[in-house]
Amino acid sequence: MSTETVNLECPGCGAPANTSQRFCSFCKGPIIISTFTSVASMGLPLLQKYANSYRDALTHTPGNPQINLSAGMCYLKLRLYDKALEAFERTIEADFDNSEVYFYSAVSLFKGQRPFLSNRSTIDRALALLQAGISIEPRAIYLYYDAFIRHDYFERKFFRVNPNYLITLEKARKTGLSEHDVEALHDLLSVPRPSVLA
């Protein structure tokens, strides 16, 4: 992804910074958030500062994929799912080869609820986003999330689907699925792990 450098204030302390910097020279906090791990342990006040800073930066550069991705991560952690999805979709428009953005878009679609409670169009859209991410980079966590959706929606409603959740779960395991990945996903989803996927 090649993108222009954008000047902004450090989301943590307000010092002058730009999108080419990984960390602030003053507070040492991240300037751009590229993974959910970066915001996972942030407290609510700091997280809101980051979200507000990115929102302000996007008024000047609405199409910047780095800032949209950063905003999306903050919104996802704040459980502002519609805003997160909007930011991730803008990121995909400018940076369509980042597999994580498809994954986090699929997470945002369910708005903190189980797939079982969603309508079929949301399920189809989430699975399409996951397939896009998998086609770029077949990560075990993406495959596991696919299996979870297939189990929670199709299997629990006694719908037949091909491939079924067992096939995608086996692919996830063969790709190197770790217990940490599974726990991290279910924490992110705020949904308990089904015993059948243990």
Q: 1-96 has which fold? A: 1.25.40
Residue percentage of the chain with pLDDT more than 70: 98
pLDDT confidence tier of residue 3, bands split at 50, 70 and 90: low
- The token pair at 71 is 């905003």
The per-residue pLDDT for range 175-187, each reduced to its tens digit, is 999 999 999 999 9
Give me the chain's average pLDDT, please. Answer: 93
Give the per-residue pLDDT at 28: 92
Domain spans in the chain, listed from the N-terminal domain onward: 1-96, 101-193
- Please write the tens of the pLDDT for every residue from 42-71: 999 999 999 999 999 999 999 999 999 999
**Residue 9, φ and ψ in degrees, nearest 5:** -90, 145
Averaged pLDDT for residues 96-120: 96
pLDDT above 80: residue 2? no
3-class SS string, 115-183: HHHCCHHHHHHHHHHHHHHHHHCCCHHHHHHHHHHHHHHHHCCCCCCCCCHHHHHHHHHHCCCCHHHHH
Q: What is the pLDDT of residues 120-134, one digit of tens each?
A: 999 999 999 999 999
Q: How buried is residue 89: exposed, middle or buried, by Cβ count under 10 Å (0-12/13-18/19+)?
A: middle
> How large is the greatest C-alpha to C-alpha distance in the chain, in angstroms?
56
> CA 108 to CA 126: how far, in whole Å?
9
Rounded Cα distance, 88 and 189, in Å: 16
Position 66 scores a pLDDT of 94
